[in-house]
Amino acid sequence: MKIGERWKRAFELSRKRITPSRKAIVEVLEEQRKHLSAEEIYSCLREKHKKVGIATVYRNLELLSQMGIVHRVNFGDGKEHYEIARIPALHHHHLVCTVCGRVIDYQDFRKEEHEFMEGLGRVLETKYDFLIQSHQLYFYGICKDCRLKEVGE
Amino acid sequence: MKIGERWKRAFELSRKRITPSRKAIVEVLEEQRKHLSAEEIYSCLREKHKKVGIATVYRNLELLSQMGIVHRVNFGDGKEHYEIARIPALHHHHLVCTVCGRVIDYQDFRKEEHEFMEGLGRVLETKYDFLIQSHQLYFYGICKDCRLKEVGE
DNA sequence: CACCAAATGATAATAATTCTCATTATCACG
DNA sequence: CGTGATAATGAGAATTATTATCATTTGGTG
Ligand SMILES: [Mn+2]
Ligand SMILES: [Mn+2]
Ligand SMILES: [Zn+2]
Ligand SMILES: [Zn+2]
């Protein structure tokens, strides 16, 4: 099932209204498939001549995150970023360069990783009486370019 | 080796000065062993009658994070939190309630998890030419109390 | 003890996000 | 297909976390 069809159903179920702003925000994230900040999404919308206020962008990113339609990710650069949620089979994680901020999406070991996380998640649910909804894994390090620059200096 | 002895050595090696502010900040984090925001650390220092400016708190938390003496963690509540780094054998991860913000430190499956992360890390290092320094795993969900409240409404 | 780069404190500046409130639009219902 | 209750929006103000500036102080080396 395409994510595009899915989110409309989710809106109906949760009794949230389907508005032009919401459609436009999801559209931008689906097209770009990148990690965009609220401000970047706002700019994209302006370029497309969709007039949506910045407050509405923030409000809806919050809502869409809670609904699981978008993922909010934080790379430690002082602002939140958002990306469209992929189907579970395409779930991915992040590799962050602590020097230049470059972020790599990786999905290697998707299956093993997913199994491991599922198993761990189940144990935690039982032990801590939590209902687990999602997880995020970040690896931090130094990318090739930044390592070369360091040596050069 | 106690972490307390270790960080002084790290300072000498990286040619950073051991100042009263830095000692005091590490001290607070070692005593409290919690996830404190910069502002909370600043308050603790004032209570202990150590006069350290807020800017110095931020500056040193940045430095201590880079040195690996403290860990900067983000639970999605709009501010960074800091905790003293534990020795690798006591490495832990986080379980975050998306409703009330409660955070649980867990260290179950420490060994299996660590092995898994090490293995995954090595593959990523090779494939993406990254030098990996650390990783963080977050599980998000709803805690027991928040689930009970939801039903009550 | 003197020197000097590094560190600090006070405060201003910036940047991200949230709040307020008057106006507009969605959609369930008749 | 209207209509009304109520959710959503936009503009801008307000708030909050974090960073920058710069004159002053200090740690550590010799
Ligand atoms: Mn991603
Ligand atoms: Mn912790
Ligand atoms: Zn880099
Ligand atoms: Zn909770």
Give the per-residue pLDDT at A3: 59
This prediction's pTM: 0.92
* pLDDT: which is higher, A20 or A113: A20
Burial B14-52 (b: 16+ CB within 10 A, else e): eeeeeeebbebbbbbbeeeeebbbbebbbebbeeeeeeb
The domain in which residue B103 lies consists of 91-153
pLDDT over 90 for what percent of chain A?
76
Ligand closest to the CA atom of residue A93: 1
Name the protein residue, with chain letter, whose CA is nearest the C1' of D10.
Answer: A53
Q: Which of A61, A120, A143 to mutate to test the interface with B (most CBs of B within 10 A)?
A: A120
CATH code where residue A36 lies: 1.10.10.10
**Mean pLDDT value of segment A89-109:** 91
Per-residue pLDDT tens digits for B65-115: 999 999 999 999 999 999 999 988 888 999 999 999 999 999 877 788 888
| Amino acid A9 CA to nucleotide C30 C1' distance, rounded Å | 26
Which among B53, B82, B57, B54 has a CA at the least distance from the CA of B68? B82
Q: Is the same domain home to A97 and A84?
A: no
Query: Is the pLDDT score of B153 beyond 90?
Result: no
Determine whether the interchain pair A113/B120 forms a contact, defined as Cβ–Cβ distance below 8 Å.
yes
Domain count, chain B: 2
CATH code where residue A106 lies: 3.30.1490.190
Per-residue pLDDT tens digits for A42-87: 999 999 999 999 999 999 999 999 999 999 999 999 999 999 999 8
